[in-house]
A and B are shown apart, each in its own frame.
Chain A
């Protein structure tokens, strides 16, 4: 997709992509001529459709990881908050699945419905998971 500043007849440049955590997506585009910025906002269903294709608006910045869609989109057990998901991405890929399972098991055993950074901190302290 491309965005055109009709007034300047200039193709707009991609600015940034944001995932607010409520299932929506925002992507900004800027006119290089007049500086006007527009935002494309998608609703949760539209965002989901894009996610299900395994593509990213604005282009990929990092290569796809194995089972990327399966791991991020399957909800087997507790839900992960946006911030918790973001924190999980900082865990090295080769142990991420294992670490995720440890936190998920911790939450399930305690009846916790959503894993947040605070829950991760508590679990880390209780289970002695330094560096995870």
Chain B
């Protein structure tokens, strides 16, 4: 019996071609985005979204067009942190992102869900463990490909705890994006963040630096310094509990200084 490659006729479904077309659509949409930075941490509750939102606002204030993609699909908080609660507007070929404080563009699952409602997909619930991850990856792809991001200097991606969304992001972009890491000072955070930094380095991501959040007498430890030394990168900022805008402005300047334009070739 002949096998797949023995048959000369076309593969009408062309699933691989359809997937390739999806990747091309992502690349075309991001063609005018100068750099993408993934904000991540292996640890939950360290303030990734808080840092992302305030950094985005500071970048925008400094005259750099900035967007935020809230990749935390199950716990989205970016719209409220950016003051961008309005529903994105559907246009004929793309979705216009919401625009928050200081002109930061953003898209988030919070824009699409009712208040307090969890993210639920239509489908056979008994088997949801099989397909839910693929659904979330598809939602991330549509956030990247279908939003009219336009010309941006920086697109920050606020990733949830863990590595799954980062891996999906690498696949969708076709390359590992630069990573900004957020930690709190504790040894527990250091250990969790170390794993995610190692995974990011192994995938080929450039480490843009570390932000140590919640610095103060409440937490002991030197997580940022220890991680910076171990991974030969910089501590870009230490954020106290009640930071002023000048601290975010300084962080934005440092991020801009360390940038490396990202190529998004189809």
Contacts and interface: CB of A to CB of B under 8 A. Distances in A.
Nearest to B121: A73
Interface string A38-82: 000000110011011111111110001011111011111101000
A125 interface: no
A73 B122 contact: yes
Contacts of A109: none
Interface string A66-107: 111110111111010000000000000111111000000000
Contacts of B1: 4, 6
A95 B9 CA distance: 40
B265 interface: no
Interface in B234-266: none
Interface stretch (B98-106, B138-146, B220-228): B138-146
A28 B119 CA distance: 34
A45 B139 contact: no
B121 A2 contact: no
Contact of B11 (A1, A48, A98): A1
B112 A70 contact: yes
A58 B13 contact: yes
Given A2-B7, A14-B12, A75-B122, A56 B18 contact: yes
B117 A76 contact: yes
B112 A53 contact: no
B256 to A, nearest CB: 31
Nearest to B9: A11
Nearest to B119: A74
A38 to B, nearest CB: 14
Contacts of B25: 64
Interface in B113-134: 113-114, 117, 119-124, 127, 130-131, 134
Nearest to A77: B114
Nearest to A3: B7
Interface residues of B, number: 42
Given A76-B114, A94-B92, A52 B124 contact: no
Nearest to B16: A55
A56 B21 CA distance: 13
A48 B123 contact: yes
B135 interface: yes
A60 B130 CA distance: 24
Contacts of A79: 122
Interface-central residue, A2, A76, A98, by most chain B CB under 10 Å: A2
Contact of A52 (B18, B120, B134): B134
Interface string B1-41: 11010011101111100110010010000000000000000
Nearest to A6: B1
A35 interface: no
A8 B112 CA distance: 52
Given A75-B120, A93-B92, A52 B135 contact: yes
Contacts of A77: 114
What are the 8 tightest A-B residue pairs by CB atom distance, in nearest-first order?
A52-B134, A66-B146, A45-B127, A44-B124, A14-B12, A11-B9, A55-B18, A48-B123
Interface of B: 1-2, 4, 7-9, 11-15, 18-19, 22, 25, 90-95, 112-114, 117, 119-124, 127, 130-131, 134-135, 137-139, 141-142, 146
15 contacts: A1-B11, A2-B11, A4-B1, A52-B137, A55-B15, A58-B13, A59-B12, A59-B18, A67-B142, A69-B135, A70-B139, A73-B138, A76-B112, A76-B113, A95-B90
Given A49-B130, A58-B13, A76-B117, 15 more contacts: A1-B11, A11-B7, A14-B13, A45-B131, A48-B127, A51-B123, A52-B138, A54-B141, A55-B15, A66-B94, A67-B142, A69-B135, A70-B112, A70-B139, A75-B121
